[in-house]
């Protein structure tokens, strides 16, 4: 693993982040990680960068990022992303809704207006670490 490989990955990541105009803090964090681990765990760091670049692509397609939970109408603390429809909800709010519906033996439809996902399951939800960091750093 050469240092130039890390540099080229970093520069393309920065270009990508510049496209969405946010997340430079995240890039800086990663760059610091690279500096700290230089020469030891470069492979692991590069993998991390690749993951971040994938996340970045997703962020670009969702350039109008909305941090408001569709359930509580307040800014999310633990944004959970629905893998099926890519909508976000605050963890406590959506888990509460899912449980309530389960008790009634009913499916929960995505609370986002106009969304066609009629079956929101706990297994479809993943904590969106990138968005969580973006919210925290605002």
- Centroid of chain to Cα 121: 18
* Interface characters, 72-91, with Zn ion (x: CB under 5 A): -------------x-x----
Distance CA 5, CA 134 (A): 27
Tell me whether residue 118 or residue 136 sits nearer to Zn ion (CB atom). 118
Distance CA 135, CA 100 (A): 28
Minimum distance from residue 117 beta carbon to Zn ion (Å) = 4
Instruction: Tell me whether residue 71 is exposed, middle or buried, using C-beta atoms within 10 angstroms of its C-beta: 0 to 12, 13 to 18, 19 or more.
Output: middle
* Interface characters, 87-116, with Zn ion (x: CB under 5 A): x----------------------x-x--x-
- Which residues are at the interface with Zn ion (CB under 5 A)? 85, 87, 110, 112, 115, 117
């Amino acid at each position: 693993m050469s240092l130039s490989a890390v540099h080229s990955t970093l520069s393309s990541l920065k270009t990508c982040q510049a496209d969405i105009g946010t997340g430079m803090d995240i890039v800086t964090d990663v760059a610091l990680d690279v500096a700290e681990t230089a020469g030891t765990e470069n492979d692991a760091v590069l993998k991390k960068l690749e993951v971040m670049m994938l996340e970045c692509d997703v962020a670009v397609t969702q350039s109008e990022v909305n941090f408001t939970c569709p359930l509580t109408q307040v800014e999310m603390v633990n944004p959970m992303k629905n893998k099926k429809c890519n909508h976000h909800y605050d963890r406590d709010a959506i888990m509460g809704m899912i449980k309530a519906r389960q008790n009634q033996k009913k499916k929960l439809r995505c609370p986002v207006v106009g969304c066609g996902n009629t079956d929101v399951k706990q297994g479809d939800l993943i904590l969106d670490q990138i968005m969580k960091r973006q919210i925290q750093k605002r």
